[in-house]
Structure 1
Amino acid sequence: MSVNRSLVIGHRGAPGYLPEHSRASYDLALASGVDAVEPDVVFTSDRIAVVRHENEIGSTTDVADHPEFASRRATKVVDGAPLTGWFTEDFRWDELATLRCRERLPHLRPGSAASDRGQPILRLRELLDLVAAAPAAAGVVLEVKHATYFGSIGYDVAGLLADELRSAGWDVGARPLVIESFEQRILQELRGRGIRARYIYLLEAEGSAWDLRAADGDDALTYADQLTPAGLDLLAGEVDGISLDKRIVLEHPSVVADAHRRGLEVYVWTCRPENAFLDPLFRGPGDDAAFGDWEGEWRRIAETGVDGVFVDHPDLGVAFFAHPGRSGGAR
């Protein structure tokens, strides 16, 4: 089957090799030739946008090793789920700057864990400047995390991000910018602020978006509802594209063509080679950390015609998805 080239997005940098969201991880992704990198964005108590997978940072930093922050450990309900740990909104930026990144999955990625505690946390502005200065014309796929939650505790998420993007020169479309979220409302608010970007709605394989659940309770549309023909018709009038859990694409590949017919771009997350993350059909011998038949799974995804893929190993992703038809690529 003929396969078109897909955009390759370094998911949190290059976390297959180095701790996610660290400067070194992003440097490696950009050097590997990705089309864009993906920072997740949350906020500090002094309203600084920082790059972390979640606002809970116990699993991705060395905060537990700092006795001066022991009293900050707390239990909170974020998007309906109780979480215990340390949260970015309880720290000023100057305090977070003393922490260092660490590997979130050390049992699967011991090579990355060997670089623990070597890199500080990044502010969003630092990441934007890093990409703008890169030799290649790479873009940013900015994921807004927990917008409804942060709004509920007094943050003007859209305003803070719009100001940051304008200050950094990323608001006028001069550089490739995608803004994505699991919540449509924040996408609409940022578009309303005049930020020129492609707006992509993230959908999981199960459940409902938290902004919809917060507004509509048990009557909230599910992600499955939003992927029906009627749901896609509505999305086509509200966003530029959708980004899907790869399980959706593997189990229902026709959704890609359905979305394309409505003018929606389709991205897929996350392509990883380790057995722990592969569909059972493509797992190979060895433990969870061993690489299975990742090429087989990725080929199945590529053949659906997706427009972009998120990868943890940028070198493998660029070789496979950016050059379909070559040895080791989609075929």
Structure 2
Amino acid sequence: MFKLSKLHSKHYLLAPNVCDVCILQTNSQKVGHIDLRPFFSDRLCPFEGHKHSLFYLFSVFAVVYSADRVFDGLPTDRPLIIAHRGSSGMRPEHTVAAYELAIEQGADIIECDVSLTKDLQLVCTHDVTINSTTNVHEHREFDDRIQTYVVEGRSVTDYFTIDFTLDELKTLRKVQQNSRRDQSYNGEFPLASFDDYVAVAKGSDRTVGIYPETKSPPFVNGILQSRNHTTTFEDILLEALAKHGYTSPTSPCFLQSFHPPSLQYMAPKTPLPLIYLTGTSLTDNILSEVATYCYGIGPTKNAIVRVVNDNIVEETDFVARIHAHGLKVHPYTFRNEYNYLAWDYGADPYKEYERFVKIGVDGFFTDFPWSLSNYMELTTGGSPHVRPSFYVLLLAIVSCALV
């Protein structure tokens, strides 16, 4: 087995399968199959005794470099800009308007918390409840939908998406639940369905990734079972992703969850990269286990830079330990408002970005993608969406010349 380590901050294993095909693998998840026949002649097949030739090395490097760029169709030369619930700092979260604005502001990825409706449709909402983020309480026709369920160990009384059809939810309008943010858009936008969300990403004139989360899967799957459905939340999501073409290891899509069983269930069913979300630091033993089925970790930023009483008290080794297990790091959630920033940053979100970039994170979940995009542009000396392909082209030309 030919090993290429730490190429563009990713660990790759190049495993020859047959003469004309290789399999790229990162951690435990297969990245993809790449047909090498355009690069090799029958006479010079590197898997038949020419593994040490200059030709082979150039060819393999060109293919792997390309795979690194193609893996998710997104930038790999800087941290990813992940728009948390869309541009949720400026529009009501999980609306088409918030997703579209995030893309306009430079987001690489738009993130979506996924919930399920009574008619088994996927809808984008941060919680399985909707009272705080919609005007449902103004719709007297839905008064009988108030229910009490146990959700992740807590008794919750509210309106739940699982008790509404998608058409019923579409009659509601979103509100900004954060009182410190612009309230002028309240009542203007409907909830986004999962199909709406994907359509926004695919409708962009550049590659925009998606990042769905299975929200409270034990609760959702428990309701499905109690109503005698034979499917699961995860299967419904994977079927929807397949319908939209997210079936390849190179598809620009990450799947996330706070629940390891949800990720473990999906791991053998999809080649898409899986992200384990966590609100605490993890031991090396747990990281080692997670690395067997996940591509990365989505930790709270406080597990990386500990803040107590609004002051930074410690910069931990969590990112270094995550990377040591071959995993990526996408911390959450970066916000511009001073009450979310440690005093050490002087109410300047750029100072927080700077610290986390130096630590080496691979992406940021942010409510304000515009700020993060501007920061990336300032610090990289150009548009954050310029992804140079010169070296890939050069390597391909040299490889072909050597045939």
TM-score by length of 1: 0.84
Pick one of 367, 371, 383 that aligns with 1:316: 371
SS at match of 1:46: coil
- State the shift of 1:322 in Å: 5.7
Matched pairs, number: 293
SS at match of 1:239: coil
Alpha-carbon separation, structure 2, partners of 1:191 and 1:234: 13
Alpha-carbon separation, structure 1, partners of 2:284 and 2:379: 30
- State the shift of 1:297 in Å: 2.1
Alpha-carbon separation, structure 2, partners of 1:281 and 1:81: 35
Match of 1:43 in 2: 116
Match of 2:213 in 1: 143
Alpha-carbon separation, structure 2, partners of 1:198 and 1:234: 16
Pick one of 248, 272, 294 that aligns with 1:239: 294
- State the shift of 1:295 in Å: 2.1
Pick one of 235, 247, 264 that aligns with 2:327: 264
SS at match of 1:269: coil
Match of 1:210 in 2: none
- Report if aligned partners of 2:214, 2:234 keep a CA contact under 8 Å in 1: no
Alpha-carbon separation, structure 2, partners of 1:167 and 1:296: 41
Match of 2:193 in 1: 123
- Report if aligned partners of 1:5, 1:323 keep a CA contact under 8 Å in 2: no
- State the shift of 1:296 in Å: 2.0
What aligned pairs does 1:1-150 form with structure 2 within 5 A after superposition? 5-105=78-178, 107-109=179-181, 111=182, 113-150=183-220
Pair 1:305 & 2:360 matched: yes
SS at match of 2:332: strand
- Report if aligned partners of 1:6, 1:306 keep a CA contact under 8 Å in 2: yes
- Report if aligned partners of 2:146, 2:158 keep a CA contact under 8 Å in 1: yes
Task: Answer 1 or 2: higher relative contact order, Cα 8 Å, separation at least 6.
Answer: 1
Match of 2:337 in 1: 274
Alpha-carbon separation, structure 2, partners of 1:318 and 1:73: 41
- State the shift of 1:120 in Å: 0.9
- Report if aligned partners of 2:353, 2:372 keep a CA contact under 8 Å in 1: no
Alpha-carbon separation, structure 2, partners of 1:197 and 1:120: 29
SS at match of 2:379: coil
- State the shift of 1:140 in Å: 0.5
- State the shift of 1:185 in Å: 1.4
- State the shift of 1:15 in Å: 0.8
C-alpha spacing 1:321/1:143, structure 2 compared with 1 (3 Å): farther
- State the shift of 1:183 in Å: 0.6
Alpha-carbon separation, structure 2, partners of 1:158 and 1:25: 25
Alpha-carbon separation, structure 1, partners of 2:195 and 2:264: 22
- Report if aligned partners of 1:141, 1:180 keep a CA contact under 8 Å in 2: yes
Deviations 1:157-191 (A, max 9, x none): 12111111111112224531100000111112222
- 1:270 partner amino acid: T
C-alpha spacing 1:322/1:203, structure 2 compared with 1 (3 Å): farther
- Report if aligned partners of 1:302, 1:321 keep a CA contact under 8 Å in 2: no
Deviations 1:59-107 (A, max 9, x none): 11110110001121122221112222110001111111101111111x2
Q: Which moved more, 1:123-132 or 1:10-19?
A: 123-132
Pick one of 162, 167, 180 that aligns with 2:256: 180
Alpha-carbon separation, structure 1, partners of 2:361 and 2:175: 32
Alpha-carbon separation, structure 2, partners of 1:120 and 1:313: 21
Give the structure with the higher percent strand: 2
Deviations 1:3-45 (A, max 9, x none): x721000100001110000111100001112110001000001
- Report if aligned partners of 2:251, 2:272 keep a CA contact under 8 Å in 1: no
Once the two structures are aligned, what percentage of the paired residues are identical? 31
Match of 1:216 in 2: none
SS at match of 2:101: helix
Match of 1:200 in 2: 275
Alpha-carbon separation, structure 1, partners of 2:290 and 2:234: 20
Match of 1:191 in 2: 267
Match of 1:253 in 2: 316
Alpha-carbon separation, structure 2, partners of 1:319 and 1:44: 37
Alpha-carbon separation, structure 2, partners of 1:99 and 1:167: 26
- 2:326 partner amino acid: G
SS at match of 1:39: strand
- 1:127 partner amino acid: Y
Match of 1:163 in 2: 239
Q: Which moved more, 1:318-327 or 1:75-84?
A: 318-327
**Which blocks of at least 5 consecutive residues in structure 2 are unaligned?**
1-76, 226-231, 307-314, 385-403
C-alpha spacing 1:82/1:130, structure 2 compared with 1 (3 Å): same
Match of 1:220 in 2: none
SS at match of 1:140: strand
- Report if aligned partners of 1:253, 1:304 keep a CA contact under 8 Å in 2: no
- State the shift of 1:276 in Å: 2.1
Alpha-carbon separation, structure 1, partners of 2:273 and 2:378: 24
